[in-house]
Amino acid sequence: MKLIVGLGNPGDNYRLTKHNFGFWIIDKLVEQRFLKYKLGKGDYLFALGNNCMFLKPTSFMNNSGVAIKQVMNYYKNINDIIIIYDDIDIDLGQIRFRENGSDGGHNGIKSIINHLNTKQFDRLKVGIATDMDMRPSEVYVLKPFSKKYLDLVNEVINYASDGINYYLNHNISSAMNNYNKRNNDNGK
């Protein structure tokens, strides 16, 4: 089974914040498949369909690894993982598939690496950098996008969802080759 995880923070206070981009994409994937979320045996919501589990941790971003470890312990047949999350070092409008790597200063990824005891998992990084003041980053990621970016945000949700669907039918290398393209029209 493939595990597709979107990172974000639970609750209405965080629903529209940049840090919840992973949740938005998971929600789109679940909606496309007409699936429904269920409560998991731990700190997560999940939806099952076509040998895929779509997961949203219900703990805060900095503890994302707890939920993923709980899922891995409960479901022994998970053989592929991809984590979808926001990246402040990539421009809004761009996405990057990666096979592995460091946490890059992202506390959700840091938690996952610590709990799984490996950096070897696929990722989809979704750019959130804009021309707005992005420092301190912990304040920037916990604010919504301004209205001028909302159309681009929706385009990215659709593009990233297409990318994940492609990834699920191919592999990480093909997804990287087809979706990690530079786009100069990125809203800046």
Could you list the beta-strand ranges (E) of 1-67: 2-6, 38-39, 44-49, 52-57
d(C-alpha 102, C-alpha 131), whole Å? 26
d(C-alpha 18, C-alpha 143), whole Å? 6
Q: Which residues of 35-46 are buried (b: 16+ CB within 10 A; e: fewer)?
A: beeeebebbbbb
Catalytic residues: 19
